[in-house]
Amino acid sequence: MNGSLKVFAGQSHPELAHEICRHLAIPLGRSNTIKFSNENMMVQVDENVRGADVFVIQTSAPPVHQNIIELLIYIDALKHASAGRITAVIPYFPYIRSDKKDKPRISITARLMADLLQTAGADRVVTMDLHAPQAQGFFRIPVDHLQASPIIADYLLKQDLTNSVLVAGDAGEAKEVGGYANRLNLPMAIVDKRRYDDSDTAVATNLIGDVKGKNAIIVDDEVSTGGTLVEAARFLLAQGALSVTAAFTHAVLAGPAVERLNNSEISRVTFTNTVPLQGKESDKFNMLSVAEIFAKAIRRIHDGDSISALFR
Alpha-carbon dihedral sign for residues 91, 227, 283, 161: negative
**What distance in Å separates the CA atoms of residue 34 and residue 50, rounded to the nearest whole number?**
23
pLDDT tens readout for residues 272-286: 999 999 999 999 999
Q: Transcribe 65-79 into DSSP letters.
A: HHHHHHHHHHHHHHH
pLDDT tens readout for residues 82-123: 999 999 999 999 999 999 998 999 999 999 999 999 999 999
> 191: which strand partners?
207
More confident residue, 215 or 173: 215
Q: Residue 144: helix, strand or coil by DSSP?
A: strand
Active site residues: 193
> 3: which strand partners?
none
What domains are defined for the chain?
5-147+291-311 (3.40.50.2020), 149-288 (3.40.50.2020)
**Cβ–Cβ under 8 Å, residues 250 and 223:** yes
State the chain's mean pLDDT as an integer. Answer: 94
Residue 168 confidence (pLDDT): 93
Which residues, 6+ apart, have CB-to-CB distance to 203 below 8 Å? Answer: 193, 194, 195, 196, 231
**What distance in Å separates the CA atoms of residue 32 and residue 59, rounded to the nearest whole number?**
17
Question: What is the DSSP code (8-state) at residue 45?
Answer: E
Helices marked H in 121-247: 149-157, 174-184, 227-238
**What distance in Å separates the CA atoms of residue 54 and residue 123, rounded to the nearest whole number?**
10
Alpha-carbon dihedral sign for residues 98, 101, 106, 108: positive
Residue 196 confidence (pLDDT): 63
Give the amino acid at 121: G
* 31-35/41-45 β-pairing: antiparallel
**What distance in Å separates the CA atoms of residue 53 and residue 31, rounded to the nearest whole number?**
16
Q: Is the pLDDT of residue 214 over 80?
A: yes
CA-wise closest residue to 129 among 98, 99, 157, 96: 96
